Amino acid sequence: MAMKIRLSRRGSKKRPFYSIVAADSRMPRDGRFIEKLGTYNPLLNKDDPNRVKMDVERIQHWMGQGAIPTDRISRFLEAKGVLEPKTRNNPKKAIPRKQEQESASS
């Protein structure tokens, strides 16, 4: 059974609220899950301690059982210090050729 630790949407229209759950990857996003591991409220300020609540001990247990966290959950875990920060590819935006040639000739 392929396990994922992922977000499951709750809340009403235009008022998202997410549960952090351990679920079989074949189940629907908002469908059956095995265990609720925390909550995420994107409407709160980024510095609010209630924005992301996680049971880190249970998440580590499920990761030990082979569950794979999704990208967003990995970022939350990196912010809490549970996982090492992953290096991400953030290329610089290209500048138009005319400006590039002008800056090179100056």
Percent of the chain scoring above 70 in pLDDT: 98
- CA dist 3 and 34 (Å) reads 9
Q: Which fold has domain 3-80?
A: S16 Ribosomal Protein; Chain: A; (3.30.1320)
Residue 102, pLDDT > 90, answer no
Burial of 7 (0-12, 13-18, 19+ CB in 10 A): buried
The two tokens of residue 79 are 């912010």
Burial of 6 (0-12, 13-18, 19+ CB in 10 A): buried
For 19-62, write each residue's pLDDT tens digit: 999 999 999 889 999 999 999 999 999 999 999 999 999 999 99
Q: Where are the domains of the chain?
A: 3-80
**Predicted TM-score of the model (pTM):** 0.79
Q: Do 37 and 22 touch, CB atoms closer than 8 A?
A: yes
